[in-house]
Amino acid sequence: PTTPPTTPPPSSGFVVSEAQFNQMFPNRNPFYTYKGLTDALKSYPGFANTGSDTVKKQEAAAFLANVSHETGGLVHIVEQNTANYPHYCDPGQPYGCPAGQAAYYGRGPIQLSWNFNYKAAGDALGIDLLNNPWRVEQDPAVAMQTGLWYWNTQNGPGTMTAHNAMVNGAGFGQTIWAINGSLECNGGNPAQVQSRVTKYQQFTQILGVPAGANLSC
């Protein structure tokens, strides 16, 4: 009779193990799962999978550090300031705000907000997030997919995607530009920048790689 295999099943192939993920996010909301993250990776196979082993780990650390900052350590699923909720509808878009004026508040690991971002992310991922933005706060894999969509494809207020910043050696500071631009960089909010940098340094340490140059913005 065949005995059940004692070897663990193959890992996700992600450079961050589940144990390291749990170490990074000791107080995380149960909504944010390691499986939700690894399932979402299928949408962006180049993420944390480009360049040397060091670069792969630096990119993973950079993404997770920014995510940690945005969500209070993967605790918050939705934006905490409900007074902001009605502000994220750009009525100038031809498709308007079908889910409602106040439906496009920050959700998920990168706090996706604005009707046009929900539309673009949904189009890219093949999910109708314009009409059903709530999926981002209900489905852990969709939540992570929106974070990876922004990271891999959007320059935001910066000059390059966060993915390209890490892969091409521009440095962690450029990922902050891509996410929040002058709201934080160029003296906009040095404490917020430092919070992101400190988290990135912690996470690269957990993964055993140097943080690299150009950490700040």
Q: Lowest mean pLDDT: which of 2-6, 31-35, 108-112, 209-213? A: 2-6
Q: Looking at residue 12, what is its pLDDT?
A: 64
Does the structure show a pLDDT above 90 at 15? yes
pLDDT of 6 higher than 80: no
pLDDT confidence bin for 13, thresholds 50/70/90: confident
pLDDT per residue as tens digits for the range 77-121:
999 999 999 999 999 999 999 999 999 999 999 999 999 999 999
- CB-CB neighbours of 168 under 10 Å: 14
The catalytic residue positions are 70
pTM of the model: 0.92
Q: Which of 177, 209, 210 has its CA nearest to residue 196? A: 177
pLDDT number for residue 121: 98
Q: Six-digit token pair at 68?
A: 């940690």
Mean pLDDT of 175-190: 96
DSSP tag of 73: T
Q: What is the mean pLDDT of the chain?
A: 94
Structural domains present in the chain? 18-77+139-207 (1.10.530.10), 82-137 (3.30.20.10)
% of the chain exceeding 90 in pLDDT: 94
Angstrom distances, CA of residue 213 to CA of 3, 63, 128, 176? 50, 16, 39, 14
pLDDT for residue 9 is more than 80:
no
Query: Would you say residue 148 has pLDDT above 70?
Result: yes
pLDDT tens digits, 153-166 = 999 999 999 999 99
